Chains A and B, each alone.
Chain A
Amino acid sequence: MVPGAGTRRELLVSRRWIQAAALVAVFGFFVMGVLALRTYTAQPPVPRLVVSESGQEVYTGRDVADGQKVFLAHGLMQYGSVLGHGGYLGPDYTADYLRRAATIALRASGGGDRAREQLEQEFRTNRYDPRSGVLTYTRAQADAFTALVGHYRGYFADPRTGKGLRPYAITDPRQIHQLTAFLSWTAWIAAAERPGEDYSYTNNWPGEPLVGNVPTADTVLWSVVSLIALLAGIGALFGAVGRWGGHLGWRGRQAETVDFHSPDQVALTPAQRVTAFFFLVVALLFLAQVLLGGATEHYRADLTSFFGFDLAGLLPFNLARTWHLQLSLFWVVAAFLAAGIFLAPLMAGREPRGQGRLAWTLLIALVVVAFGSLLAEGLSIHGFVPPGSFWGSQQFEWLDLPRVWQILLAAGMALWAVMMWRVLRGTLARDSRGNLPWLFFLAGLAIPGVYAVGLLARPGDTFTATDFWRFWVVHLWVEDFLELFTTVMVAYMFVQLGVVRERVALVVIYLDIILYSAGGVIGTMHHLYFSGEPVEHLALGAFFSAMEVVPLTFLTVEAWSFVQLGARQHMESRTPFPHRWAVMFLVAVGFWNFLGAGVFGFLINLPIVSYYEIGTGLTANHAHGSMMGVYGMLAVALGLFALRYLIPAGRWPEKWARVSFWSLNIGLAWMCFATLLPLGLLQLHESVASGYFEARSLGYITGSTNTLLEWLRLPGDALFIVGGVLPFCWIAWLGVRHRGRQAAADPATGLTPAPRLSDVREPVDSA
């Protein structure tokens, strides 16, 4: 139906899809709201004052807050971790403090079985008085604190670089005291029993026999429930696919003849041409990211020397890792934003005046934010920025950029949403709010919206609360909302190409929303089993995150029909299908979605596994397999899609696109299977057999077997960089050199017509 003036196009799918999606989403976020409330009401207290049995001050609550800022500002969350969250080269400082304090206390009491029993009781007894806000340490705990201030003073003031930290990393005695106070607090909540319970605030994490920390009954029970949920979910999925599979998933349009326009025939709008520069920036950020990844990896293979050069003085491990992680977000998100700029005019049929200038503004803003934040992180880790500075220091893992840059990045994404609105508003006004243009716009609006939630994580707040909000970004934003946006974008790409009907694309999108929201929203809590949240976070996180594998499995099943529709659609085309490698990268996305996100993710998802595994190699295995395998490959796919029209047909580097495709995938597969997976499995075994503290020790990590496995990665990483990333940079450069054909704007209205990418040669059935 063609809408007349003032009317909207009818909804192309049943209202039940919208109702189901809304119901699942509302339920999910309602539960998240309750969990947010419980986080604040049931989080471990930060005492106003910690005293010894004789009444002497040990440290204050202010010291804990400031110590957290010191920990973050010096990039220690990218070196080691606390409560299991952070980097993997250094120790988990919660486990480190707990082990050392317990050992000091045991030694002071002379050792023996009776002393062990007393030690366990001392550490597990909760001596916090909520009325006065005072926590009383036993004499042994207080003495251990004093001793460990001395230990960490020597540790962080080390003039050598043999740990991968910069020399004299922290020398200020006051900062050392504050830092030790923060670590002591994390160790206290790890052992002291939650009032009314027989387990600690962190559900008895980390495992530490000296203080009686063993997995709780809930950890085991909810692992079993999670596994049952997974099996039941997948069973239901296959049942549904078998029963309704013909109505779900991708189905090609009935018209089987589509003529694709040659790139030379496609005249681009001003903003579309600016995306050439976006994708060059994407490629260069990707290159910087992988080079820093190489440097980070080298520390794990050879901690003391970078091929004879002492890198740690200038680029210590934690700085390399900080930049490696931040750049991964920057280049992927920049690619998604650029793809949105490229696709929006295709949806609207035209582009308003000034969109090109706005695109330039956004690009420059992104570059400024990227470099500004990276520079600030470098200055902070090198000690030039006061801890907790709004301008220069934040450094939660993944949310490393200082708050001013975080706000600017959110503002940049909001600018992008405004750009989408400018292009799409006419289309949005004429279309049902449940159809593709609205889904695209709303999914795009969620990008700055959910990212901004990360601003609720502030460096001085209780770590339990900051971690809750941090994972809204790391999980909800990355794994759910970006996933939703990319599903809509890819669907739109193929609707624009004419290979799938809009209604079919809508069904797939709504199904994805339902499946992802069912598991992924509440499943966010699978990151927070042991961060001090109450046990319901563990229970709900374990159950719902198991359901997340269901949509990943569905996407793999569905991906085959997605691939199949391409087979049908150009069987009689007179012109070549221009997106061979964009499609192949999407095939790779489907593969890594299942393997990297699904299999490698579920491998570490059960609470009982995470209890021993968190902060170890299997997490890195999942992170690389999913972040690069899914989002990285997708970003490259989107880039190649747009670049195909930015580069003349005769100049399209088909060979380098092929080389890049194979090199990235082979390199990633080698990385996972040669090093990350076996190393992670061995480390998990060590954690269970010898202890979490032992498995995280530098001595274990730099052992001969681990070192060999790290070096084994070299051929795959070299291929990834040289064969995978460099060709992509070359293709992006060609995009800038040529920048496609410019479409002529209407001088009266300033509107530039958007190109058509294909013609359907036979009429299509309506609806």
Chain B
Amino acid sequence: MIGPFVTESVLAYGYAAALLVTAAGLDRLARRVAGRSERRRRPGRTPSHDGREIVRAPRPWPHSEAGRFHRGLALVLVVLAASLTLVEAVRHPAWPDLALAAAVLAAAAVTGRWLTGHLRAAPAGFPEPGQRTANRDR
């Protein structure tokens, strides 16, 4: 026992919480990866009388899909955290362990919703042939 809690429950819920933290970390990594194509815009010069500089944004792929990959794995960890929590709650269905389970499940639900939203908002971005990048005068 650890305080009022069964040791196994503390370990299981603690591990589940660690999975949620790892999932959040993976999502952050995904954001960095997917955002790289924006941060790495390179100026391409087009001869013109005005000497204007044309900025060409690189295609989002494969950063976008790499970001999706990380987000997908992050969601897997959330599902796993929730599964472990449910299994442990069934194994030790006593109060106050169930309070811990409820807290972890709530965190998993919030994290899962958040990550699912990110995943939906992050298309793979694989380009179709003939698509042109957006050019922007600057």
Nearest CB of A to B71, in Å: 12
B33 lies within 8 A of A572 (CB): no
Q: A567-B37, A577-B127, A705-B8 are in contact. Are A670 and B62 (CB under 8 A)?
A: no
Q: Which of the listed residues B60, B72, B83, B129 has the most CB atoms from chain A within 10 Å of its own CB?
A: B129
A591 to B69, Cβ gap below 8 A? yes
Q: Beyond A563-B33, A705-B8, A708-B87, is A576–B62 a contact (Cβ under 8 Å)?
A: no
Task: Please determine whether B69 and A563 come into contact, CB atoms closer than 8 angstroms.
Answer: no
Residues A574 and B127 in contact, CB atoms below 8 Å apart: no
Q: Is there an interface contact between B62 and A583, defined as CB atoms closer than 8 Å?
A: yes
Contact of A666 among B11, B65, B76, B126 (CB under 8 A): B76
Residues from chain A with Cβ under 8 Å of B70 in the complex: 591
How large, as a class, is the contact surface on chain A? 20 to 34
Report chain B residues within 8 Å CB of A575.
129
Which residues from chain A contact B61 at a C-beta distance below 8 Å?
Answer: 566-567
Closest A residue to B22 using CB positions: A673
Q: Which listed residue (B63, B128, B133) contacts A572, Cβ 8 A?
A: B133
Q: Would you call B19 an interface residue if the criterion is a C-beta within 8 Å of the partner chain's C-beta atoms?
A: yes
Contact in complex: A712, B83 (CB < 8 Å): yes
In the complex, how many angstroms separate the beta carbon of B2 from the nearest chain A beta carbon?
A: 14
Name the CB-closest residue of A to B88: A708
Query: Does A656 sit within 8 A of B, measured CB to CB?
Result: no
* Interchain Cβ contacts within 8 Å, total number: 87
- B65–A584 contact, CB under 8 A? yes
Is A56 located at the chain interface by the 8 A CB criterion?
no
> Are B15 and A678 within 8 A (Cβ)?
yes
* Cα–Cα distance between A570 and B63 once the two chains are bound (Å): 13
Residue of B nearest to A711 (CB): B87
- List residues of chain B with CB within 8 A of the CB of A670: 76, 80
Rounded to whole angstroms, the CA-CA distance of A750 and B40 in the bound complex is: 48
Contacting A567 at CB < 8 Å: which of B15, B44, B60, B129? B60
B76 and A712 form a contact (CB under 8 A): no
Q: Closest CB-CB distance, A278 to chain B, in whole Å?
A: 27
A51 to chain B, nearest CB (A): 50
Q: Which of B19, B44, B76 has the most CB of A within 10 A?
A: B76
Is the pair B59, A588 in contact by a Cβ cutoff of 8 Å? no
CA distance A506 to B99 in the complex (A): 57
Question: With the chains together, A665 CA to B63 CA distance in Å?
Answer: 18
How many positions in chain B have a CB within 8 Å of any CB in the partner chain?
Answer: 37
A-chain residues with CB within 8 Å of residue B66 when the two chains form the complex? 563, 584, 587
Contact A564 B37 (CB under 8 A): yes
On whether A560 and B19 interact (CB within 8 A), knowing A574-B129, A708-B87, the answer reads: no
Contacts of B36 in A (CB 8 A): 560, 563-564, 567
B62 lies within 8 A of A567 (CB): yes
Beta-carbon contacts under 8 Å, A225-260 to B: 256
Taking a contact as CB atoms under 8 Å apart, the answer to whether B87 and A712 are in contact is yes
Task: Determine whether A427 belongs to the interface, using a CB cutoff of 8 Å to chain B.
Answer: no
**Residues of chain A within 8 A of B132, CB atoms compared:** 572
Q: Which residues of A contact B33 (CB under 8 A)?
A: 560, 563
Chain B residues whose CB sits within 8 angstroms of the CB of A666 once the complex forms: 72-73, 76
**A563→B60 CA distance, assembly (Å):** 10
Contacts of B35-93 to chain A: CB distance below 8 A? 36-37, 40, 42, 44, 56, 58-63, 65-66, 69-70, 72-73, 76-77, 80, 83-84, 87, 91
Q: Mark A73-88, 1 if CB is under 8 A from B, else 0.
A: 0000000000000000
A761 at the B interface (CB under 8 A): no
Determine if A674 is an interface residue (Cβ-Cβ < 8 Å). yes
| Residues of chain A in range 170-201 having any CB-CB distance to chain B below 8 Å | none
Question: Does the CB pair A570–B127 fall under 8 Å?
Answer: yes
Q: Does A571 contact B (CB under 8 A)?
A: yes
**What residue of chain A has the Cβ atom nearest to residue B65's Cβ?**
A584
B117 within 8 A of A: no
Complex-state Cα separation, A36 to B93, whole angstroms: 57
In the bound complex, CA of A253 to CA of B64 (Å): 21
In the bound complex, residues from chain B placing their C-beta under 8 Å from that of A304 are: none
- Once the chains bind, are B73 and A669 in contact (CB under 8 Å)? yes
Of B62, B63, B73, B126, most buried by chain A (CB within 10 Å of CB) is: B62
Judge if B130 is at the interface, Cβ distance under 8 Å.
yes
Q: How far is the CB of B6 from chain A (nearest CB, A)?
A: 12
CB nearest to A678 among chain B residues: B15
Closest chain-B Cβ to A310's Cβ sits at a distance in Å of 28
The interface residues of chain A lying within 8 Å CB-to-CB of B58 are 564, 567-568, 571
Name the residue on B nearest A562 (C-beta): B62
Cα separation A9 to B130 with both chains bound (whole Å): 37
Which residues of B from 1 to 36 have beta carbons under 8 Å from A?
A: 8, 11, 15, 19, 33, 36
Indicate if A469 sits at the interface (CB-CB under 8 A). Answer: no
Q: Which of B60, B72, B129, B130 contacts A662 (CB 8 A)?
A: B72
From 637 to 678 in chain A, residues with beta carbon under 8 angstroms from any chain B beta carbon are: 662, 665-666, 669-670, 673-674, 678
Let me know if B129 and A576 touch, CB within 8 A: yes
Whether A697 sits at the interface, judged by CB under 8 Å, is no
19 CB contacts below 8 A, A to B, read: A560-B33, A563-B33, A564-B36, A564-B58, A567-B40, A567-B58, A570-B59, A571-B56, A571-B59, A576-B127, A584-B66, A584-B69, A588-B69, A591-B73, A666-B73, A669-B76, A670-B80, A673-B80, A674-B80
Q: Chain A interface (Cβ within 8 Å of chain B)?
A: 256, 560, 563-564, 566-568, 570-577, 580, 583-584, 587-588, 591, 662, 665-666, 669-670, 673-674, 678, 682, 705, 708, 712
- 5 more A-B residue pairs beyond the given contacts A564-B58, A574-B129, with a C-beta to C-beta distance below 8 A: A563-B36, A567-B62, A568-B42, A580-B65, A665-B73
